[in-house]
Amino acid sequence: MKTIWKVIIAVVIIIILIVIGFIIYINTAFISKEEAQNAVIKDMNQDEDDIYFESTDLELEEGQYDISLYYNNTEYEYKIDAKNGRVIYTDYVNSSNQNNGTTNQDTNNQNTQNNSQTNSTATAISLDKAKQIAFEHAGVTEADINLTKAQNEMDDGKEVYEIEFYYNNQEYDYKIDANNGEIISYDRDGHH
C-alpha cells in the first residue's frame, strides 16, 4: 500500500513540475498581455486613459495577440507578435499620418505602409514592391484599380503581404512572400 502512495505522490510531483515548467516557458518565450497592450499604446502614441481595450483577457493564437480596442468611439484591431511585441497589423491610422482630403481607405493604406517600413528589418521587400508585383501579375496599374487591402501579416509563421483590389468589377486577392516577393497565392473573383 505504501508503494502505491509513493507512486501517486511521484506522479503528482511530476505533473506539478511539468506545469511549472510550462508556465516558466510561456512567461519567458512570449511577452505578457500587459506588454502587448503597451506596444499598442506606444504605436498609437495616444494617452493611455483615452484607449479602452475591449477585453483584458487577450488571446494568444499562432504566436500573436489579437487585440480589439476603442479610441474616440471607434473600434480598432491590432495583431502583436507575442515573441517580440512588434505590430504585425493594425487598422489604426495615426492622425499625424493623415493628410487633408485623403479618404479613409488611403489613410489605412498609408498606415499599413508605415508599419511595413517600421518592420522592414524583418522583410526583404516593401509593401509598395509587393503591390507592384500583384499589379504587374494582374496586368493593371494602381491608377486603374480600387485598392481595398494592403497589409503585412503572418500566415502559418511566414511573413506575407495581403493585397486585395477591384478591377472591372472583379476582385483580385494576392498573398506575396515578404522575404522574396514570390506570389504564394492569387484569386480573381473566385477563379485562379
Using alpha carbons, select from 81, 76, 30 the residue that is nearest to residue 54: 76
Taking only the tens place, the pLDDT of each residue in 29-53 is 778 888 888 888 888 888 888 888 8
Taking only the tens place, the pLDDT of each residue in 103-143 is 334 444 444 444 444 443 456 888 889 999 999 999 999 88
pTM: 0.38
Question: Is residue 15 over pLDDT 90?
Answer: yes
Residue-averaged pLDDT of the chain: 78
C-alpha to C-alpha distance for 84 and 39, rounded to whole angstroms: 10
Question: Is residue 10 over pLDDT 90?
Answer: yes
Percent of the chain with pLDDT over 90: 19
